Structure 1
């Protein structure tokens, strides 16, 4: 089954590939993507071997997987999936941290909506000024101060409050995403250290890690208290950015609510760029 899934993944990626990006002519093509012959030439193998791979009649070596990934110029997430389907760990097994074009476009196009982008280990890699205007993300100088899971379980924000039900949903999502990351990046020492820290510091996290719950919905709401004492309640929705193995959380208010009007006021005071890269040692 995995061999056929690998072949289907190669077919899909070949059909989505940009010939121009591979230095191939675009004119005169009847179908999008690369031909099998073109993929074979770029990857250093025959078109017949590409056909057998796509039909699930041959099992690729790790070198073949890497050659196909390079020839198709795939993103990190697709590379990880190809490796997994072929039965191999990725070459370096490290969580990618580059913001990438997908995350950059989201931050630029939703500059009037609080938005953050995190990597697979839940480290924030970029936010927008609208998010910083919520005034709840204080910096402590700790190693994991920009990590969503560590801040929730080990160093929670006083200006960020959730109901028991929303906190439970939020925690379920955080644990599920970290467990998925550990499976996909088993060689990432920093990710392993983060999980060890969370399990040591937070009994709640350790309990959920040992007995995880299924994710019902990738959203939860929270109340943010401002420095002037006023507050607003927002719903956070998770948006996957699969090509770069990143995820965004978009915070919105209920349409027509007082919170919506208050959010407009808060964002109106925001002063800064649409894309603020964060992490150690802080915004920059």
Structure 2
């Protein structure tokens, strides 16, 4: 289908989402009720200039990753997401690929947990979405650092306090979880590329991968060293979305503790100055 149809669909879907529905401030007077291109750029991680070119039909052949990110940011239903892939000239991801679609129900869960740090990961441990309080707590990740295994084995980009023992246990668990995921989704090119890059960049990952162990990441208790409010010891519960193997990571503090007070302070202060 011509790219102008893709542009018209993106514009229409953008117009129907009110900023507050997407967790954004309304921002004064607007010519249209929906999302501005800059806001869609913020939500999707795609440059506003590229969104302009897509809508105007000047950009062709967007990648599956771009289309998936736009579908999440625009909160498309499953049928609408499939239509977006077809408009972009792409095959709809099949059952052998890692599910990365967030249903409206998952979005509504995050909408209701504004005072709780929450992030959604796919089965390959790539962060798909995080609410503002999670970003304030953990910092903002971009590029390869959106993947938890990449952070654990390559860049060590984390505010979570680790000992050599706890870091080793996390690495073993993530490697085993990725092996399990690779068996479930053998046709996923992005997952295959991630594993190849991890094996190339991390001797430790390659050693763990070659053991053939499989496992699934479980809930845990973590201490986060925050640069502004200090250390917070929190329960990290991993909730699974039926049918998609999405993981919703929820951080909570024990009531009536200093950790709860610090988390409440972080919620009040918001993300303006605390996401660096």
Aligned to 1:152: 152
Give the Cα separation in 2 of the matches to 1:150 and 1:137.
15
Q: Which runs of at least 4 in structure 1 moved beyond 6 Å after TM superposition?
A: none
Measure how far apart 1:169 and its partner are: 3.9
TM-score between both structures, scaled by the size of structure 2: 0.58
Q: Say if 1:173 and 1:106 are closer, same or farther in 2 by CA, change over 3 A.
A: farther
Give yes or no for contact 2:229–2:266 (8 Å, CA) kept in 1: no
Query: C-alpha deviations, 1:257-279, integer Å up to 9, x for none?
Result: 2111111111122259xxxxxxx
Aligned to 1:27: none
Aligned to 1:194: 194
Measure how far apart 1:222 and its partner are: 2.8
Give the Cα separation in 2 of the matches to 1:214 and 1:197.
19
Measure how far apart 1:196 and its partner are: 0.9
CA RMSD of aligned residues (A): 2.7
Compare relative contact order (CA 8 Å, sep 6+) and give the higher one, 1 or 2.
1
**Higher Cα radius of gyration:** 1
Give the Cα separation in 1 of the matches to 2:170 and 2:208.
12
Give the Cα separation in 2 of the matches to 1:146 and 1:181.
17
> Is 1:131 paired with 2:134?
yes
Structure 1 stretches of 5 or more lacking a match?
A: 1-74, 76-89, 273-284
Give the Cα separation in 1 of the matches to 2:216 and 2:255.
23
Identify the match of residue 95 of structure 1 among 91, 98, 103: 98
Give yes or no for contact 2:219–2:237 (8 Å, CA) kept in 1: yes
Alignment of 1:128-277 (within 5 A): 128-139=131-142, 142=143, 144-157=144-157, 159-211=159-211, 215=215, 218-228=218-228, 230-270=230-270
Give yes or no for contact 1:175–1:205 (8 Å, CA) kept in 2: yes
Give the Cα separation in 1 of the matches to 2:198 and 2:184.
19
Identify the match of residue 105 of structure 1 among 108, 131, 156: 108
Give the Cα separation in 2 of the matches to 1:216 and 1:186.
17
Give yes or no for contact 1:167–1:220 (8 Å, CA) kept in 2: no
Measure how far apart 1:213 and its partner are: 5.4
Give yes or no for contact 2:254–2:260 (8 Å, CA) kept in 1: yes
